[in-house]
Amino acid sequence: MTPGDDAYPRIRLYDIRKACSTCSLRELCLPVALGREDTEALDHIVERDHPLRKGDKLCRSGQPFAAIYTVLSGSLKSSTQGENGEDQIIAFHLPGELVGLDAIGAGRHHSTTEALETTSVCKIPFSRLEELSRQIPGLQHQLLRIMSKEIFDDHELLQVVARRSAEQRLAILLLNLSQRFGRRGLSRTRFRLPMSRHDLGNYLGLAPETTSRVFRRFLTQGLLSVTGKEIEFLDLPALQALTESPSAPPRSSKQG
């Protein structure tokens, strides 16, 4: 049952790199000048976890924090819960990305992470990683670096949710997903959205109906074609133009 035993043999960093060309574990380690020994040390703390089925929880809000994860295949969503049970999705996780960083240090998860489809992840026990990072100076810096990135991403999301129209929000998210798919070597213009319209809307601070309507508008305007969860960009420049606040009235900030 526990990962790391015979049924779920340890996998090597080498394998992870093969499995996922832009794996965050690579992101975590690559900029660091790791010697052969260091690499092996890292190899040995990585464990493969059970594959998750759609709806399975990787971790729940309030649970003690023990490990961070990197997505090998599939996808996940993380959400925080308001006191009323209404939740707010704060991130989607695609293959090659790290999960659970917001729990570092607090010792406890603040969010619940759930599989959007059949998903396999790779577990990195944090205590061991932290221990290791004391021995490998660059690794410690990498940890801080990645958390910093997380903060930056959150700020970008905030900016989007606080100040942009529904169309801009969706366009920005689609382009963002496009980039992330592209980085994995998949098509940047044609891909499958792993999340429901509901999740999409929740993440962007929109009602699901609005999300649906915006898709229709994009379709009508010839910006993209939508078939269920499959989408294809037909007019990338126009979508990017949307992003740059073409119709966005300059709110707040400064208005002379």
Partner DNA sequence: CGCAGATTTGAGTTCCATCAAGGCGTGTGG
Partner DNA sequence: CCACACGCCTTGATGGAACTCAAATCTGCG
Separation of alpha carbons 96 and 179, rounded Å: 13
The option from a copy of itself, DNA, none interacting with 147 (CB < 5 to 8 A, set by class) reads: a copy of itself
Binding residue for DNA (CB under 7 A) from 62, 141, 229, 246?
229
Q: How many chain residues touch DNA (CB under 7 A)?
A: 26
What are the percentages of helix, strand and coil residues in the chain, rounded to 5?
A: 45, 20, 35
Separation of alpha carbons 146 and 151, rounded Å: 9
Separation of alpha carbons 121 and 55, rounded Å: 14
The option from DNA, a copy of itself, none interacting with 143 (CB < 5 to 8 A, set by class) reads: a copy of itself
Site string (151-190) toward DNA, x via CB under 7 A? --------------xxx-----------------------
The option from DNA, a copy of itself, none interacting with 115 (CB < 5 to 8 A, set by class) reads: none
Give Dmax (Cα) for the chain: 68
CB closer to a copy of itself out of 72 and 79:
79
Q: Does 84 interact with DNA (rule: CB under 7 A)? A: no
* Alpha helix stretches (DSSP H) within 8-55: 13-19, 24-29, 36-45
DSSP string, 57-88: EEE-TTSBP-EEEEEEES-EEEEEE-TTS-EE
The option from DNA, a copy of itself, none interacting with 213 (CB < 5 to 8 A, set by class) reads: DNA
Separation of alpha carbons 188 and 233, rounded Å: 8
33: number of Cβ within 10 Å: 10
- Residues 79 to 108: which contact a copy of itself by CB under 8 A? 80, 82-88, 90, 101-106
Binding residue for a copy of itself (CB under 8 A) from 15, 27, 43, 150?
150
Residue 144 dihedral angles phi and psi, to the nearest 5°: -60, -40
Among the listed ranges 9-17, 113-121, 136-144, 226-234, the one in contact with a copy of itself (CB under 8 A) is 136-144
Site string (119-158) toward DNA, x via CB under 7 A? ----------------------------------------
